[in-house]
Structure 1
């Protein structure tokens, strides 16, 4: 499963995904988005699948970007969201054209995480925020999740909050670790804003 990572799995589970997954943590996303130094009118939910995270947000124009057509169909038909088929490592958007990007519970599935961070930095306008909600592989529940995803054959690659913050800094984003735990939030603000 190279290239687009675990896409085939998500195409298969799309019909059941929202029934088994808890809602996204809207409060954590808003806390992360509050770090932006520009108004958030246009937001991309990258790796947004069925629109679970987008559904937890109100206000901006939101487009769900995902490589799984099955999951995008759920976002469009089940939630009425705008959906764009795309690869996080090659976002189909102009430079500095969006105010915020969220990646919720999906970053570990991206096959080229560095490219995804660079692309997020490219399409964010100065002062815009990249908000990533992820799972800490050093937390006891995180260790169990890592083992479970490996056991079912996923190519997941988890990072600690500090490692993700360092990668954001390398890509020209001002990193902030907003919260820690099994699920954590790291924000990167596009410099120059």
Structure 2
């Protein structure tokens, strides 16, 4: 999921992570997933840590990919299968999943554009990439950026329009179904 400096933090806090992070909102994720050209049954939760996003949408067959062994152990304890891996080199076959989510994690991925390209590679035609992030231009976003850097995270945040441009550059049909401090950008892979 993350650069090596961030992985260390997640390994340390894995056992407590779900106590401090709010649950992923199934309605928000469902709005993004509904943009796919067909109903999906398989999903990849990239940088999914403990499987928060996967647990929010239980009617899909999810696999979490994360660089933190501690976070993957928590996902496994919650019944979500996981694979240790790098978001910029996903250990997944081309066009093999109908949905990819990156929820509250892209800012921790050191090579964001490569991670997006990998998500596009593994998506089946008509499948959807849903990214949930924090807008660094909002008041709460600026506080989050400062807080993460203060505790030593090597985070890079993108605003919704910048992120939408990155998905467009990767060849997806892009929409921004939600804006605000927490925002969602989704992209559908053309058939």
TM range (shorter): over 0.9
Using the TM superposition, give the Cα deviation of residue 153 of structure 1 relative to its aligned residue in structure 2, in angstroms. 1.3
**Any idea what the Cα deviations from partners look like across 1:36-72, whole Å, max 9, x if unmatched?**
0022111000000011111111211100110000000
- Whether 2:27 is the aligned partner of 1:27: answer yes
Partners of 2:126 and 2:53 in 1: CA distance: 22
Partners of 2:38 and 2:67 in 1: CA distance: 28
Secondary structure of the corresponding residue to residue 52 of structure 2: coil
Partners of 2:30 and 2:70 in 1: CA distance: 27
Question: Which segments of 5 or more consecutive residues in structure 2 lack a partner in the other structure?
Answer: none
Match of 1:108 in 2: 107
| TM-score in terms of structure 1 length | 0.96
Q: Residue 3 of structure 2 contacts residue 108 of structure 2 at CA under 8 Å; is this kept in 1?
A: no
Using the TM superposition, give the Cα deviation of residue 26 of structure 1 relative to its aligned residue in structure 2, in angstroms. 1.2
Question: Which segments of 5 or more consecutive residues in structure 1 lack a partner in the other structure?
Answer: none
Q: Residue 26 of structure 1 contacts residue 56 of structure 1 at CA under 8 Å; is this kept in 2?
A: yes
Using the TM superposition, give the Cα deviation of residue 82 of structure 1 relative to its aligned residue in structure 2, in angstroms. 0.8
What value does the CA root-mean-square deviation take over the aligned residues? 1.1
Match of 2:88 in 1: 89
Match of 1:168 in 2: 167
Partners of 2:89 and 2:143 in 1: CA distance: 31
| TM-score in terms of structure 2 length | 0.97
Using the TM superposition, give the Cα deviation of residue 4 of structure 1 relative to its aligned residue in structure 2, in angstroms. 3.7
Match of 1:51 in 2: 51
Partners of 2:171 and 2:28 in 1: CA distance: 23
Using the TM superposition, give the Cα deviation of residue 5 of structure 1 relative to its aligned residue in structure 2, in angstroms. 4.9
Partners of 1:4 and 1:99 in 2: CA distance: 29
Using the TM superposition, give the Cα deviation of residue 160 of structure 1 relative to its aligned residue in structure 2, in angstroms. 0.4
